């Protein structure tokens, strides 16, 4: 089994390195990396990781900018990722950190790494331990900032 | 015959458990569960339930957050569900409860369960009793809050 | 030849019955009905009417609600209908009456039936009398409210 | 070789007739016409012109209305046209004139015909004289209103 | 190996010529050009460059206008490009310069050429030197205006 990691030169932290490091803490599964210029290059990169390089699951890591144009760009990339998943029957974990989610560069750097790592754990669970996700169904899990918890305490 | 149930760890109530419970009240049909992290992981999970685990119909259960970003996310997931249905010729009942539809956590917990249960009844009808739906054509049915009824009383 | 009619329990008038009645006034072609809960269930229902029940053309009848969420829902259903047409090379006549197009329940009931009937005539023409449509090319035809007519009188 | 022309009864000028007339001024290529009720019926009509009636290129002619609903409708039709092109590897020249682009009915009638005719010339070039388009690359060409020209004079 | 270049007569600078010139500075790879009228004609042109003219990677060069209609048009073209990539498993580098990104015609002419050239370098790297992109992962690269750099200095 293999996990693919696709990331960008546009992002402002090495999300791909963080993902690879986190995955290695939990499993010795093989990892394939693929770096592209920007968000819109991610969907086909993920599909190639699955179909040409044999990945069973891929993480798509990106950082949309804060302008309106960037939001549209992220939306188009997300639609492409949906399509790539449905064409391959494989999960692609989308990890997008919008530049304007963080209040400054320091928090941005933290959030880029933290969310990537928490989603890397999800990727491992989806592939190897699906029962752990079922156990957490409906418990208000979040990646990056704190969990919210269930509505009925 | 089998019904699939896909839900998320992001939602704030165990929608999957509610759906399974309701379906069992109406039929002894077999049920397959699949829990994923978030909304955008649902479409491929539904397609896998249909193509790899033999489900004839799937319920896709999710709770979009209240922020603008979450609305876009829900839209992308919905588009993915449309595509998954058209690629498989199977119904996927989308049950999304937007976090901001409820006025507080208590109502949210109620709505998450209530809408899920009413759609579970629809799922059973679509698969086993389609004539019951035809009988209700154009009668202003709603799931969760009260029915509206026909325009001409 | 067969015409399919897909409608919903969500709508506030029996659009499916109106469509069937109107079609029967113009042709003795066979009709297949399929009622689903809501708008988003229509695209796959239409595709199944074409591929599994042999319909040559389908009418997709629905009534989007007036809230912003409902507009997004209608948009997703319309995209699904486009895709279903392109996957099957068959026309699907979309008849959507937005709840907020009418000023009250009485006008809504009238509009739901009137637009459905006028589109039913279009459906028959598309399938049986395409030359009649070509004769009306660019003449500002509308369904439900009055025709607008050509720009150059 | 054949060029297809798809137009609507909704538009307020006979765009299809204008397109056919213009094409005939430049080439004796065969023409197939297909008139449908509205914008959303165009994509599948274009695909049928290509796949069932042997057209090598199609013009899709429509006039979106000025209301918000009509903008969404045009967007859905455009997405369908994109998909139809990619499924067939054939060009479909989209000629949409928004009703609110013109200041009155007289200008609207002029614009509907003028833009159609200029795009008809593009259609002929794409199919028969692609080198002429390459020669005009980046020169700020427009269809209907005046050309803008290159940024660096 | 071959790189395809698709551009438009609508843009206000010869982006295709700039791309070809830049690619030739870095490699002697063969180049195929294809000029179309506007943005929406690009996706199928790119797909034809890949499938009918044997290109391994394509650059899609366009200049969306500044009006709201033009933004929607760019969005539709981008979605088409995503789809074209996923249907072919080939990268299509989208280089769109929005007319309103520049403060005047002089800056527009500069930006159209500069962004095209920087993306041409990315195209060459993606095809021939993927390790160079991986080395720059997460370093805040931009094309046209200045790089932003990583969040954590």
**Closest alpha carbon to C118 in C91, C141, C150, C88:** C141
Verify whether the Cβ–Cβ distance D41 to C93 is below 8 Å: yes
Verify whether the Cβ–Cβ distance E80 to D85 is below 8 Å: yes
In this predicted structure, the answer to whether residue A153 has a pLDDT above a threshold of 80 is no
Shortest distance, CA C94 to any CA of chain B (angstroms)? 16
What is the rounded average pLDDT of the residues B64-69?
91
Would you say residue D141 lies in a domain? no
List residues bridging with E96 in a β-sheet.
Answer: E62
Contact status, residue B20 vs residue B5, Cβ threshold 8 Å:
yes
Task: Give the model confidence (pLDDT) of A23-45 as tens digits.
Answer: 999 999 999 999 999 999 999 99
**B chain contacts of residue C12, beta-carbon cutoff 8 Å:** 138-140, 148-151
Identify which of D37, D41, D79 has the shortest CB distance to residue C79: D79
Q: Which helix (H) or strand (E) holds C6?
A: strand C2-8
In this predicted structure, the answer to whether residue B22 has a pLDDT above a threshold of 70 is yes
pLDDT category at B48 given cuts 50, 70, 90 is very high
Q: Would you give the DSSP letter of residue C92?
A: E
Shortest distance, CA D75 to any CA of chain C (angstroms)? 10
Residue A70 CB neighbours (<10 A): 18
In chain A, whose CA is at the least distance from the CA of E146?
Answer: A10
Verify whether the Cβ–Cβ distance B10 to A140 is below 8 Å: yes
Shortest distance, CA A83 to any CA of chain B (angstroms)? 7
**B chain contacts of residue C73, beta-carbon cutoff 8 Å:** 78
Instruction: Specify the pLDDT at position D145.
Output: 83
Identify which of A75, A93, A138 has the shortest CB distance to residue B12: A138
Query: How far apart are the C-alpha atoms of B68 and D59, rounded to whole Å?
Result: 38
Instruction: Specify the pLDDT at position E71.
Output: 94
Q: For residue A138, how many C-alpha atoms fall within 13 Å in the half-sphere facing its CB?
A: 21
Identify which of C47, C76, C83 has the shortest CB distance to residue B78: C76
**Closest alpha carbon to A133 in B57, B4, B6, B58:** B6
Identify which of D51, D109, D112 has the shortest CB distance to residue C89: D51
Instruction: Specify the pLDDT at position A41.
Output: 98
Would you say residue B145 lies in a domain? no
Would you say residue C141 lies in a domain? no
Verify whether the Cβ–Cβ distance D40 to C82 is below 8 Å: yes
Task: Give the model confidence (pLDDT) of E92-114 as tens digits.
Answer: 999 999 999 999 999 999 999 99
Task: Give the model confidence (pLDDT) of D58-112 as tens digits.
Answer: 999 999 998 889 999 999 999 999 999 999 999 999 999 999 999 999 999 999 9
Contact status, residue D116 vs residue D19, Cβ threshold 8 Å:
yes
Would you say residue B151 lies in a domain? no
Q: Which two tokens stand for residue D79?
A: 């997405």
What is the rounded average pLDDT of the residues E111-128?
97
Query: How far apart are the C-alpha atoms of B112 and B107, rounded to whole Å?
Result: 8
Residue-by-residue DSSP string for E45-77: HHHHHHHTT--SEEEEEE---SSHHHHHHHHHH
What is the rounded average pLDDT of the residues D47-65?
98
Instruction: Specify the pLDDT at position A85.
Output: 98
Write out the residues of chain A at the interface with chain B, using a CB-CB cutoff of 8 A. Answer: 71, 75, 78-79, 81-83, 85-86, 89-94, 98, 119, 122, 126, 130, 133-134, 136-143, 148-153
pLDDT in tens, chain C (153 residues): 999 999 999 999 999 999 999 999 999 999 999 999 999 999 999 999 999 999 999 999 999 998 889 999 999 999 999 999 999 999 999 999 999 999 999 999 999 999 999 999 999 999 999 999 999 999 999 998 888 999 986
Identify which of B79, B89, B119 has the shortest CB distance to residue C44: B89
Query: CA-based diameter of chain C, in Å?
Result: 47
Shortest distance, CA E94 to any CA of chain D (angstroms)? 16
Would you say residue E33 lies in a domain? yes
Would you say residue A78 lies in a domain? yes
In this predicted structure, the answer to whether residue D153 has a pLDDT above a threshold of 70 is no
Task: Give the model confidence (pLDDT) of D109-145 as tens digits.
Answer: 999 999 999 999 999 999 999 999 999 999 999 998 8
Would you say residue D143 lies in a domain? no
Verify whether the Cβ–Cβ distance E133 to A43 is below 8 Å: no
Shortest distance, CA D73 to any CA of chain C (angstroms)? 8
E114 burial class (0-12, 13-18, 19+ CB within 10 angstroms)?
A: middle
Shortest distance, CA A9 to any CA of chain B (angstroms)? 23
- A141 to A122, B10, B44, B84: CA distances (angstroms): 11, 5, 20, 25
Contact status, residue E68 vs residue D101, Cβ threshold 8 Å:
no
ipTM over 0.90: yes
Identify which of B71, B137, B140 has the shortest CB distance to residue C16: B137
Identify which of A79, A149, A151 has the shortest CB distance to residue B76: A79
Identify which of A35, A76, A108 has the shortest CB distance to residue E82: A76
Verify whether the Cβ–Cβ distance D12 to C151 is below 8 Å: yes
Which chains pack against A, by 3+ Cβ pairs within 8 A?
A: B, E
**Closest alpha carbon to C59 in C96, C107, C24, C27:** C96
Adjacency order of strands within the sheet including E92-96: E30-36, E2-8, E57-62, E92-96
Would you say residue A58 lies in a domain? yes
Q: Which two tokens stand for residue A45?
A: 């990169």
Instruction: Specify the pLDDT at position E145.
Output: 83
Which chains pack against C, by 3+ Cβ pairs within 8 A?
A: B, D
Task: Give the model confidence (pLDDT) of E49-83 as tens digits.
Answer: 999 999 999 999 999 998 989 999 999 999 999 99
Domain CATH number, residue A98: 3.40.50.960
Verify whether the Cβ–Cβ distance C76 to B71 is below 8 Å: no
What is the rounded average pLDDT of the residues B5-14?
97
Instruction: Specify the pLDDT at position A102.
Output: 94
In this predicted structure, the answer to whether residue B152 has a pLDDT above a threshold of 90 is no
> Which site among C39, C44, C66, C72 would you substitute to test the B interface, given the most B Cβ atoms closer than 10 Å to its Cβ?
C44
- Range of E116's domain? 2-135
Q: Which residues contact A81 (CB under 8 A, 6 or more apart)?
A: A42, A43, A46, A60, A92, A94, B40
- Can you list the positions of beta strands (E) in A9-148? 30-36, 57-62, 92-96
Number of domains into which chain E is organized: 1
**Coil vs helix vs strand at B72:** helix
Instruction: Specify the pLDDT at position B144.
Output: 84
**Closest alpha carbon to D90 in D44, D56, D42:** D56
Shortest distance, CA D134 to any CA of chain C (angstroms)? 31
Residue-by-residue DSSP string for chain E: -EEEEEEESSSSS-HHHHHHHHHHHH---EEEEEEESSGGGHHHHHHHHHHTT--SEEEEEE---SSHHHHHHHHHHHHHHHHHHHHHT--EEEEE--GGGSSSHHHHHHHHHHHHHHHHHHHHHHHH-HHHHHHTTTS---SSS-----S--
Instruction: Specify the pLDDT at position C152.
Output: 85
Q: Which two tokens stand for residue C85?
A: 């047409």
Question: For all residues of chain A together, what is the average pLDDT?
Answer: 96
Q: For residue D138, how many C-alpha atoms fall within 13 Å in the half-sphere facing its CB?
A: 21
Write out the residues of chain B at the interface with chain C, using a CB-CB cutoff of 8 A. Answer: 71, 75, 78-79, 81-83, 85-86, 89-94, 98, 119, 122, 126, 130, 133-134, 136-143, 148-153
Shortest distance, CA A138 to any CA of chain E (angstroms)? 33
Q: Which residue has the tokens 């290159």?
A: D150
What is the rounded average pLDDT of the residues B28-51?
98
> Is there an interface between A and D (3+ Cβ pairs < 8 A)?
no
């Amino acid at each position: 089994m293999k996990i693919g990691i696709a990331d960008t030169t546009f992002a402002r932290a090495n999300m791909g390195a963080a993902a690879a490091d986190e995955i290695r803490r939990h499993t010795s599964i093989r990892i394939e990396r693929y770096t592209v210029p920007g968000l819109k290059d991610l969907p086909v990169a993920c599909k190639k990781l699955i179909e040409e390089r044999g990945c069973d699951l891929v993480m798509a890591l990106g950082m949309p900018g804060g302008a309106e144009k960037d939001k549209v760009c992220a939306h188009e990339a997300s639609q492409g990722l949906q399509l790539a998943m449905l064409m391959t029957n494989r999960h692609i974990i989308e990890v997008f950190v919008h530049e304007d989610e963080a209040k400054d560069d320091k928090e941005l750097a933290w959030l880029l790494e933290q969310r990537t790592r928490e989603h890397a754990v999800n990727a491992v669970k989806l592939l190897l331990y699906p029962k752990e996700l079922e156990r957490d169904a409906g418990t208000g899990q979040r990646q990056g900032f704190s969990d919210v918890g269930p509505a009925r305490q």
